[in-house]
Amino acid sequence: MNEATNLILAIFGAIMVWTSSIVGAVLWLSGKFRGVEQTIYKEMDKLRREVEARHYNINTRIQRLEIKLFGFAGPDRGTATTPQDNGQDNL
């Protein structure tokens, strides 16, 4: 009976050590992945701000060119509309 009890306790101890090792590894990896995730989100936010600034500058330059060339900005800017061509000659 003593051998059976020792065998059961040894198996139970091995399962507990294995389980605690796996839980520790999962927690460690979770922390590492959380750090990577935070770094990715910081870089995405920085790049988003850079792209928005570039987009604003390009839109401003396009609008200035439209005003210089046509005297008004295009219809997608919301400042003026162009006459629609319905296929008829306006004589």
Structural domains in the chain (count): 1
Judged against a pLDDT cut of 60, whether residue 79 lies above it is answered with no
Residue 23 phi/psi, 5-degree rounding, is -65, -40
Domain assignment present for 89:
no
Domain assignment present for 13:
yes
66: its two tokens? 């439209």
Domain assignment present for 58:
yes
Domain region containing 65:
2-75
- The confidence band for 90, taking pLDDT boundaries of 50, 70 and 90, is very low
Q: What's the pLDDT tens digit per position in 13-66?
A: 999 999 999 999 999 999 999 999 999 999 999 999 999 999 999 999 999 998
Q: What's the pLDDT tens digit per position in 3-13?
A: 989 999 999 99
Q: Which residue has the higher pLDDT, 1 or 68?
A: 68
Domain assignment present for 86:
no
Domain assignment present for 85:
no
pTM of the full structure: 0.50
